[in-house]
């Protein structure tokens, strides 16, 4: 097990994470000396207000029902202050005497630390005695992270929450703007210490403008004398408001951000019912006990890891789909189909034989948190997928068996009633009761279908989150949801409103809690990460979809052959039965016997009659399973997605000789969008099946 096993242990024990508030700080480089004391006092007072507001909604200290349903009830809320460590306000806001006790410290630098240090004074100014803003002060702040421990030797603490961006030294203004925007992306509230001038999109104004666009509240502490604190925020209609700062307004904004009160309110009966539906999903996700921790298994940050299902199959019945799939899609046929569908498969495999993994020593707490969340959702999705798919296969097979039993019961119908007929009727009844129970479990009691769809999509959103965290980026949840209309319009979320909402809320809580750890975006690091992402994530998805396309194609073809064979056999049997009837009729006409005799006695006629009924039942069952599983559509979707991923992979590898983290992250987000949208389309198909089984 790696050194960050606590993330996996904690996730298995409780997938709900601690309430986490990320506070971004930004401000002017040059602060008026006469205003420094006032600024310190106002910053400290703001932190105190934030701390009190957190305590008021803490799942540990308060009785707030929303907090208790969304978060871990045993861990105090986390405050994380994020700064770019520039001179002036950025450092003023993280002075040890000002920062709240137990607050985490994180930073995002526009350049590598050594390059960034060149922007600061090399030593104390002897004329003025100025110490703030010096290189020594910069490194002393990093030492608070355990990031640099010795001047002569650089030491990196992998737990340090530091991102070193790869800004262009020749375009410093743009590098600072990019840094500000990323800082805002990682923030839930922004404290801006500046003069309030937003006329140009640079400096502190760039951070404020980015916060406006994302709907993140901004606390403005003015550097101008005699100016009161103000708070900028957006209402539910995205209208911008500027108000005099008060603790009450702050409390309201933190509740909107952390408790999602715009969504989870009791303004009317409908909203109250909706909120309870969200709570029930969180409760079920937390209470699920199908997972366990395998302490001696290390994560590969691809798909293997220490979080496993306690049992691969809940019962013998849940093996039905996998057993059926192995029957209709044998490995040798799948391999042959894959070679026929993808002539270049061997070349592609050759490219991925030297897959570069992520060494454990390079893993960070943030990476483990994201990956633990992914494993939890993925394993549960697998569990409910097997249960649901096996259920619908069994329902069709048992339905065919029940009809067959009914046919044989009619065949044995005599007067008086015989034991064979009674047994067959009882068998039919038992099969029908079993079908009813399976349907009840799948749709109402265990809700296999619903949980499978929601957890599968959740895992597919969490997967790119843990990959993009290697670049210090987040995925698709930068803007907190403030109302149902915004969430309902998101096409990448499962098409149930409650499903969309709880997944969006949960991924927000994960993103805040996981945060980021040491991320040095040097050329060598980016080269390694690009190789890891393309060979592990992208190539892994390509190979999966190629194999899946082959398997689905073989399954569809096999069932089509069975279906065609059964109907053809039925036609032949009907033709043979027709011939026997015609021969008997002709014989009767020729002999003109008073007592009719038959050339083909009942021993032949009855089996033929039964076959004429049973064979169509079997043929219809294979057709229904093939139609319900949508093997053909899934095969085509995998082929299409694989081709799209190959194009993006080739672009990332071949069209980018110079590595730039912004572009690499943008390309990886496009890949994430492709896979997530495909997953949504895939789930759309199976969502329709809810009324068909």
- What pLDDT is stored for residue 678 in this prediction? 76
253 Rama sector, left if φ>0, alpha if ψ -120 to 50, beta otherwise: alpha
- What pLDDT is stored for residue 490 in this prediction? 47
Say how far apart CA 633 and CA 552 lie, in whole Å: 9
- What is this structure's pTM? 0.89
- What pLDDT is stored for residue 478 in this prediction? 43
In three-state secondary structure terms, 330 is coil
Cα 673–chain centre separation: 12
- What pLDDT is stored for residue 73 in this prediction? 96
- What pLDDT is stored for residue 80 in this prediction? 97
Say how far apart CA 425 and CA 519 lie, in whole Å: 69
> What token pair was written down for 149?
């421990």
Q: Which domains does the chain have, with CATH numbers?
A: 22-259 (3.40.50), 329-691 (no CATH)
Residues of the chain under the 70 pLDDT cut = 1-4, 123-133, 148-156, 236-238, 267-268, 344-362, 414-417, 444-446, 476-496, 591-603, 655-658, 682-693
Q: Nearest-CA neighbor of 113 among 157, 164, 156, 147? A: 164
Q: Nearest-CA neighbor of 75 among 18, 3, 2, 26? A: 18
- What pLDDT is stored for residue 612 in this prediction? 87
353-376 tens-digit pLDDT: 455 566 555 678 999 999 999 999
- What pLDDT is stored for residue 580 in this prediction? 80
- What pLDDT is stored for residue 202 in this prediction? 86
Phi and psi (nearest 5°) for 79? -105, 125
441 Rama sector, left if φ>0, alpha if ψ -120 to 50, beta otherwise: alpha
- What pLDDT is stored for residue 114 in this prediction? 87
Say how far apart CA 509 and CA 75 lie, in whole Å: 14
- Yes or no: say if 512 and 480 are a contact pair by the CB < 8 Å rule: no
Say how far apart CA 669 and CA 476 lie, in whole Å: 8
- What pLDDT is stored for residue 434 in this prediction? 92
Element (H, E) at 605: helix 602-629
Contacts of 187 (CB under 8 A, 6+ apart): 22, 23, 24, 82, 211, 216
- What pLDDT is stored for residue 167 in this prediction? 92
Report the share of the chain in percent with pLDDT over 90: 50
- What pLDDT is stored for residue 597 in this prediction? 55
Contacts of 9 (CB under 8 A, 6+ apart): 293
- Yes or no: say if 194 and 204 are a contact pair by the CB < 8 Å rule: yes
Contacts of 471 (CB under 8 A, 6+ apart): 519, 521, 526, 529, 661, 664, 665, 668
**Cβ-based burial of 2 (10 A; exposed 0-12, middle 13-18, buried ≥19):** middle
Give the angle subtended at the CA of 403 by the CAs of 402 and 407, to the nearest 5°: 120
């Amino acid at each position: 097990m790696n050194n960050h096993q606590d993330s996996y242990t904690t996730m298995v024990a409780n997938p709900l994470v601690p309430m986490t508030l990320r506070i971004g700080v930004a401000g002017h480089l040059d602060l008026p000396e006469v205003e420094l004391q006032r600024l310190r006092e106002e910053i400290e007072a703001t932190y105190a207000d934030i701390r009190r507001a957190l305590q008021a909604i803490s799942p540990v200290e308060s009785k707030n029902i929303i907090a208790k349903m969304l978060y871990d009830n045993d861990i105090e809320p986390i405050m994380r202050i994020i700064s770019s460590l520039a001179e002036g306000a950025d450092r003023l806001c993280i002075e040890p005497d000002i920062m709240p006790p137990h607050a985490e410290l994180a930073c995002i630098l526009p350049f590598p630390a050594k390059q960034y240090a060149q922007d600061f004074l090399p030593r104390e100014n002897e004329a003025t005695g100025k110490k703030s803003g010096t290189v020594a002060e910069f490194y002393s702040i990093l030492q608070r992270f355990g990031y640099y421990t010795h001047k002569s030797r650089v030491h990196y603490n992998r737990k340090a929450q530091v991102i070193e961006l790869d800004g262009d030294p020749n375009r410093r203004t743009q590098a600072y703007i990019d840094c500000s925007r990323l800082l805002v992306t990682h923030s839930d509230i922004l404290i801006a210490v500046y003069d309030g001038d937003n006329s140009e999109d640079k400096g502190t104004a760039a951070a404020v403008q980015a916060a406006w666009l994302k709907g993140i509240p901004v606390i403005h502490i003015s550097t101008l004398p005699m100016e009161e604190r103000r708070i900028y925020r957006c209402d539910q209609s995205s209208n911008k408001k500027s108000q005099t700062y008060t603790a009450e307004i702050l409390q309201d904004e933190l509740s909107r951000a952390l408790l999602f009160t715009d969504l989870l309110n009791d303004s009317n009966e409908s909203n109250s019912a909706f909120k309870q539906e969200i709570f029930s999903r969180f409760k079920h996700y937390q209470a699920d006990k199908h997972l366990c921790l395998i302490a001696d298994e290390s994560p590969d940050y691809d798909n293997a890891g220490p979080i496993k299902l306690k049992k691969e199959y809940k019962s013998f019945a849940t093996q039905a789909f996998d057993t059926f799939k192995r029957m209709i899609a044998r490995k040798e046929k799948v391999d042959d189909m894959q070679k026929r569908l993808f002539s270049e498969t061997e070349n592609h495999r050759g490219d991925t034989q030297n897959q570069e993994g992520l060494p454990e020593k390079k893993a960070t707490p943030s990476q483990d948190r994201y990956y633990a969340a992914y494993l939890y959702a993925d394993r549960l999705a697998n569990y409910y997928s097997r249960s649901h798919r096996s259920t619908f296969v069994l329902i069709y097979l048992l339905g065919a068996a029940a009809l067959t039993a009914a046919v044989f019961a009619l065949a044995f119908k005599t007067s008086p009633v015989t034991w064979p007929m009674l047994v067959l009727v009882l068998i039919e009844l038992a099969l029908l009761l079993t079908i009813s129970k399976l349907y009840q479990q799948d749709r109402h009691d265990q809700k296999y279908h619903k949980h499978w769809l929601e957890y599968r999509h959740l895992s597919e959103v969490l997967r790119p989150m843990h990959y993009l965290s290697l670049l210090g980026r987040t995925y698709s949840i930068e803007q907190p949801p403030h109302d149902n209309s915004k969430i309902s319009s998101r096409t990448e979320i499962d098409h149930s409103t409650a499903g969309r909402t709880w997944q969006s809320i949960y991924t927000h809580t994960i993103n805040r809690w996981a945060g980021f750890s040491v991320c040095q975006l040097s050329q060598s690091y980016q080269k390694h990460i690009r190789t890891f992402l393309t060979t592990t994530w992208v190539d892994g998805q390509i190979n999966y979809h190629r194999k899946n396309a082959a398997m689905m194609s073989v399954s569809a073809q096999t069932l089509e052959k069975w279906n065609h064979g059964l109907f053809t056999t039925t036609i032949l049997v009907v033709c043979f039965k027709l011939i026997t009837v015609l021969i008997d009729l002709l014989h009767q006409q020729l002999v003109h016997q008073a007592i009719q005799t038959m050339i083909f006695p009942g021993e032949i006629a009855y089996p033929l009659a039964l076959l004429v009924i049973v064979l169509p039942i079997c043929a219809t069952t294979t057709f229904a399973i093939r139609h319900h599983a949508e093997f053909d559509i899934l095969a085509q979707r995998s082929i299409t997605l694989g081709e799209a991923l190959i194009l993006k992979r080739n672009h990332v590898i071949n069209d980018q000789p110079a590595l730039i983290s912004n572009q690499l992250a943008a390309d990886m987000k496009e890949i994430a969008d492709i896979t997530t949208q495909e997953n949504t389309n895939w789930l759309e198909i199976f969502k329709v099946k809810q009324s068909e089984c």
